[in-house]
Amino acid sequence: MANIFTSDTFDSEVIGSSVPVLVDFYADWCMPCKMIAPLVAALEETHGDRLKVGKVNVDQSKDIAAKYRVMSIPTIILFKGGEALERIVGAVSQSELDAALGKVLS
């Protein structure tokens, strides 16, 4: 199960993480978000030793969504060393997620 990042935990869990972090910006009512949820969960299972995976509910953490200019959901942002390095917007395929992840994990 992916971590849930909130306004209180985002800086310590994501920005301060010693490993890359995949953050899935979503909302409970978003159907495309639900479509990619199994893909995100699979990444956590496959790369859990080298990657932290978590979610930000944009309805509950509007400040984080605004800070990272999340205008559409789902948006996935990959962080490494506290920096947002890769951004994927929309429901994408597993291969697109893998390609973006490869850039961050290499």
DSSP label at residue 19: S
CA dihedral for 8, 24, 88, 29, sign (positive or negative): negative
Name the residues annotated as catalytic: 30, 33
Residue 39: name the closest of 29, 53, 28 by CA: 53
What the block records as the tokens of 11 is: 């800086």
Phi then psi for residue 57, to 5 deg, are -80, 115
